[in-house]
Amino acid sequence: MKELSASLGEIVNTVGLRGDIKLLPGPDFWWEALDSGVVDVVSDNVRRRITVDHFRARGSTVVIKLAEVSTIDEAEALVGSTLEVSLDEVADEFLPDFLLPCQTMGLRVKLPDGSVLGEVVDLLLGPEQNVLVVEGNDEKYLIPDVSEIVVSVDLEGESMEIDPPRGLLDLRW
CATH of range 101-170; options 2.30.30.240, 3.40.1210.10, 3.40.190.150, 3.20.20.105: 2.30.30.240
Domain 5-94 has CATH 3.40.50.720: no
Q: Write down the pLDDT at residue 148.
A: 94
Task: Check pLDDT > 70 for residue 166.
Answer: yes
Q: Write down the pLDDT at residue 67.
A: 95
Confidence of residue 71 (pLDDT cuts 50, 70, 90): very high
| DSSP track, 127-165 | SS--EEEEEETTEEEEEE--TTTEEEEETTTTEEEE-PP
Q: In terms of pTM, does the model score above 0.85?
A: no
Confidence of residue 101 (pLDDT cuts 50, 70, 90): confident
Task: Check pLDDT > 90 for residue 28.
Answer: no
| Per-domain residue ranges of the chain | 5-94, 101-170
Minimal CA–CA distance to 61: which of 36, 93, 83? 83
Q: Write down the pLDDT at residue 13.
A: 97
Query: Where does residue 62 rank: exposed (0-12), middle (13-18), buried (19+ CB within 10 A)?
Result: buried
Minimal CA–CA distance to 99: which of 129, 57, 119? 129
